[in-house]
Amino acid sequence: MSFKDIFGIFNKRELIFKESYKESENVYTFVFDKDKDAEWKAGQHGLFTITHKKIKNPIKPFSLVAAPTENTIKITTKISDSPSEFKKALMELEKGMKIKMAGPVGGFYVKEPHKPTLLIAGGMGITPFRSILKQLEAEENRVEQQINLLYMDSDGTYLFKDEFDTIANNNPLIKVTYLDSREELHQEIDAFAASNTNNGKYFIAGPKSMVTSISDHLQHNNISKRNIKKDAFFGY
């Protein structure tokens, strides 16, 4: 955790719940009002605290799905038929109720859009990339080199697909590839790494095992650790 993150977690605010809706089977988005002074970098996450009831573990990190240029704060998560206490509490939220957020924090954001960039998402690891691509869409002139999103989802759900397709269709420098196997994913990663080596930037988000495996694979292929950003998801 960086010094900025240490200070960031003391930046706490109450968020007013607006609505929730289903993205796909067992995946929901929760929408909150955005304070006028709320700021974050696309790709960062916040620490959310349940306040309307007492639960054992009331704090959980979530990537902010909305881009800073949008007018809301959003989180998207899987909620199974047997959800945790935290997710049960999320589902109980009604319009006007409040939740707390600390942050946002984290270094998982694109600092150099003038360099070729590979975004690698596995499953729910797509959430920070939705924010990143929506922000790049809003700041079209920032994109100077190819930005490729590799989205692997073995379930074939592909959250936010319509939005991603629109962004890619409107900007030839942004490409989105949908994959359903680890073999295909490695082929795409290797092709990008061979073309861009350490001139490129590599962002990986998804289950911890996947993030670790891909990071190790990149480093084994001589990609410097300093060019790799990781966002591991510990459960959904």
Instruction: Identify the band that residue 223 occupies on the pLDDT scale cut at 50, 70 and 90.
Output: very high
- 191 alpha carbon, distance to own chain's centre: 23
Q: Model confidence over 171-193: pLDDT tens digits?
A: 999 999 999 999 999 999 999 99
116 Cβ contact list (under 8 Å, min separation 6): 145, 146, 147, 148, 192, 195, 196, 199, 200, 201
Read off the pLDDT band of 4 (50, 70, 90): low
Phi, psi of 183 (to 5 degrees): -60, -45
Domains assigned to the chain? 3-105 (2.40.30.10), 117-233 (3.40.50.80)
User: What pLDDT, on a 0 to 100 scale, did the predictor assign at position 236?
Assistant: 47
